[in-house]
């Protein structure tokens, strides 16, 4: 089911200074995608390797990827235009476990990409805590409002929503134990902190990890993470892991 194909760029949207939304055509493969999975995208012909990107949305025969311009690969991706073709491999990796009822979603920065997908696939069930550095880094607040049950925005400088990071907003909201599983994607430090918080409270917690990878299918062994069962591949055994699996959490 994992296939390599050339997808047509349907739309490129500038969301803010460095955030972009890429829309690709992908009718044949769309029904297999699940929130938490990712694709390897050939961001430019000058690059040898593809780069991993979480699925932001998969609707109406289209694939959406939200990304932040950080390095050469994402810079090059942002220069592609509608009508261009891009080689993609996927969907790859394990998805978030399907939430049975309401759940807490925690997103930091570009981690909102896979969290949005989870919220959209489970509309009206997610209590979202979404944090970024400042107002300009908070993207698609209107869309997030629609797919979440409750939306809490946090910015480090307090320019939008509550002041502080998303985890602090989550912790201050739930002094007691929220009777809900937690799904998180964002900076590693945030993921480790929320994992400890959830483990402490005995709550199920699922985190999405990332690492440099070459193949995306478990062959190159670049993207390993230490787990209680030894080293695992983020691309194949993840990118979604249960908090209790990860050493250091």
Identity of the residue, 89 or 107, whose beta carbon is nearer to another protein in the bound complex? 89
CB of 248 to another protein, least distance (A): 13
Provide the CB-side half-sphere exposure for 165 (13 A, CA): 12
131 phi/psi in degrees, rounded to 5: -120, 150
210 and 108 Cβ atoms separated by less than 8 Å: no
- Contacts with 233 (C-beta within 8 Å, 6 or more apart), sequence order: 218, 221, 223, 224, 225
Distance CA 21, CA 93 (A): 21
Identity of the residue, 14 or 221, whose beta carbon is nearer to another protein in the bound complex? 221
Distance CA 124, CA 182 (A): 15
Strand partners, 62: 25, 59
Identity of the residue, 105 or 213, whose beta carbon is nearer to another protein in the bound complex? 213
- Structure tokens of 158? 């307090």
Identity of the residue, 160 or 214, whose beta carbon is nearer to another protein in the bound complex? 214
Identity of the residue, 182 or 246, whose beta carbon is nearer to another protein in the bound complex? 246
CB of 43 to another protein, least distance (A): 11
CB of 53 to another protein, least distance (A): 16
User: Where does this chain bind another protein (CB under 8 A)?
Assistant: 1-2, 4, 47-50, 89, 211-215, 217-224, 231, 236
CB of 175 to another protein, least distance (A): 36
- Contacts with 55 (C-beta within 8 Å, 6 or more apart), sequence order: 33, 34, 35, 36, 37, 38, 39, 63, 64, 65, 91, 113, 114, 117
CB of 146 to another protein, least distance (A): 36
CB of 120 to another protein, least distance (A): 28
Identity of the residue, 14 or 219, whose beta carbon is nearer to another protein in the bound complex? 219
């Amino acid at each position: 089911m994992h296939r390599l194909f050339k997808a047509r760029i349907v739309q490129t949207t500038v969301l803010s200074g460095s955030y972009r939304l890429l829309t690709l055509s992908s009718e044949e493969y769309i029904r297999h995608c699940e929130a938490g999975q990712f694709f390897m995208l050939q961001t430019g012909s000058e690059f040898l390797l593809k780069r991993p990107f979480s699925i932001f949305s998969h609707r109406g025969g289209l694939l959406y990827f939200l990304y932040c311009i950080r390095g050469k690969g994402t810079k090059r991706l942002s220069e592609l235009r509608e009508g261009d073709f891009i080689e993609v491999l996927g969907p790859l990796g394990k998805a978030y476990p399907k939430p049975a009822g309401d759940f807490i979603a925690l997103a930091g920065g570009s981690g909102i990409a896979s969290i949005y997908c989870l919220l959209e696939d489970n509309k009206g069930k997610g209590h979202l805590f979404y944090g970024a550095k400042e107002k300009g880094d908070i993207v698609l607040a209107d869309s997030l409002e629609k797919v979440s049950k409750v939306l809490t925005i946090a910015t480090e400088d307090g320019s939008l929503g509550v002041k502080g990071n998303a985890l602090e907003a989550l912790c201050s909201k739930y002094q007691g134990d929220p009777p809900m599983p937690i799904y998180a994607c964002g900076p590693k430090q945030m993921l480790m902190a929320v994992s400890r918080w959830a483990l402490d409270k005995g709550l199920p917690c699922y985190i999405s990890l990332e690492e440099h990878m070459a193949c995306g299918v478990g062959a190159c062994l670049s993207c390993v993470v230490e787990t209680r069962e030894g080293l695992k591949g983020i691309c194949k055994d993840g990118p979604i892991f249960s908090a209790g699996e990860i050493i250091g959490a």
